[in-house]
Chain A
Amino acid sequence: MAISLDMALGIHQHALQARVQRAEVLANNLANADTPGYKARDVDFRAMMAQAQGQISGMQMTRTDDQHMDTSAAPGAPELLYRNPHQPSIDGNTVDSQMEQSLFMRNAMDFQASFQFLNSKFAGLTKAIKGE
């Protein structure tokens, strides 16, 4: 049985990457909290995870001919969505800074959780290698 490092780490590396991407989007919302006409954005975390799950479970199609379409790159990019505003302001800005900040903090906490999982995977692998 071959051990693949990707398989050993599981979903957590993708989760960590998704958390970082989401942090960037939320940071951008917060920076534009006073920009007229700016629409708050967010990512669909469930879709990102489902996609990562598809990638690691090996359900991708292989290209056996040059004329086959490359399906590996196209769904690789998650879609950025717009947030439904609770209370849009007159200048067209839909950023609710309190909500965005709480989402950002929560995302940072979830990032730590994912990080903890990933770190313990590494700790387990190290333990196995050392044979202690």
Chain B
Amino acid sequence: MSLGNIFDIAGSGMTAQSLRLNTTASNIANAETASSSIDSTYRARKPVFATIQQSLLNPGQAGAGFASEGAGAGVRVEGIVESDAELQMRYEPSHPAANEDGYVFYPNVNVVEEMADMMSSSRSFQMNVDVMNTAKSMMQRILTLGQQ
């Protein structure tokens, strides 16, 4: 029985989605962080997801009893990339962080996009929780096999 694998898979999904939620929170929190130079300005961060391949985890056996390379074993965060969208340059001479020309730089965070991303990741997280709950009840049923 490989029901235990489902816990790992759903767990990896939850980890990935909560990391995505984390970057979203960071982006929204820093949406108005002004800076005086392009290099020191905060840039929107996005996680990159990738599938974990079962054959890489245990090379001896093909995944889960399947003939081909097998099902994946969940999802992992390959890295976090910074968005290269253009920064917002605003003319605010009275701003304490303004440069000598009177400009301040604001991050390239699109708050609307971040909110949509937040909803998407919380739904995906919920979905993984549902999967884990179902796997749990399936396992509990298995444990009662043969009982009167």
A interface, CB within 8 angstroms of B? 17, 20-21, 23-25, 27-28, 30-36, 38, 41, 43, 76-80, 97, 101, 104-105, 108, 111-112, 115, 118-119, 122-123, 126
Contact = CB atoms under 8 A, between A and B. Distances in A.
A78 B138 contact: no
A20 B146 CA distance: 18
B134 interface: yes
Main secondary structure of the interface of B (DSSP, over half): helix
B68 interface: yes
Contacts of A28: 9, 51, 71-74
A78 B9 contact: no
- Chain A interface SS verdict (over half): helix
Given A20-B1, A122-B145, A31 B67 contact: no
Given A78-B67, A115-B145, A27 B49 contact: no
Interface residues of B, number: 45
For the complex of A and B, the 7 pairs showing the least CB-CB separation, nearest first, are A31-B13, A77-B67, A35-B49, A122-B146, A27-B6, A27-B9, A25-B71
Contacts, number: 118
Nearest to A26: B131
B128 interface: yes
Interface string B51-74: 100000000001011111011111
A83 to B, nearest CB: 13
B51 A32 contact: yes
B101 to A, nearest CB: 39
Nearest to A109: B134
Nearest to A100: B127
30 contacts: A20-B3, A21-B65, A23-B138, A24-B5, A25-B64, A27-B6, A28-B9, A28-B73, A30-B131, A31-B12, A31-B16, A32-B49, A32-B74, A33-B127, A34-B75, A34-B120, A36-B49, A43-B66, A77-B66, A80-B67, A80-B68, A80-B71, A104-B131, A108-B134, A111-B138, A111-B141, A112-B141, A119-B145, A119-B146, A122-B146
Contacts of A105: 134
A128 to B, nearest CB: 14
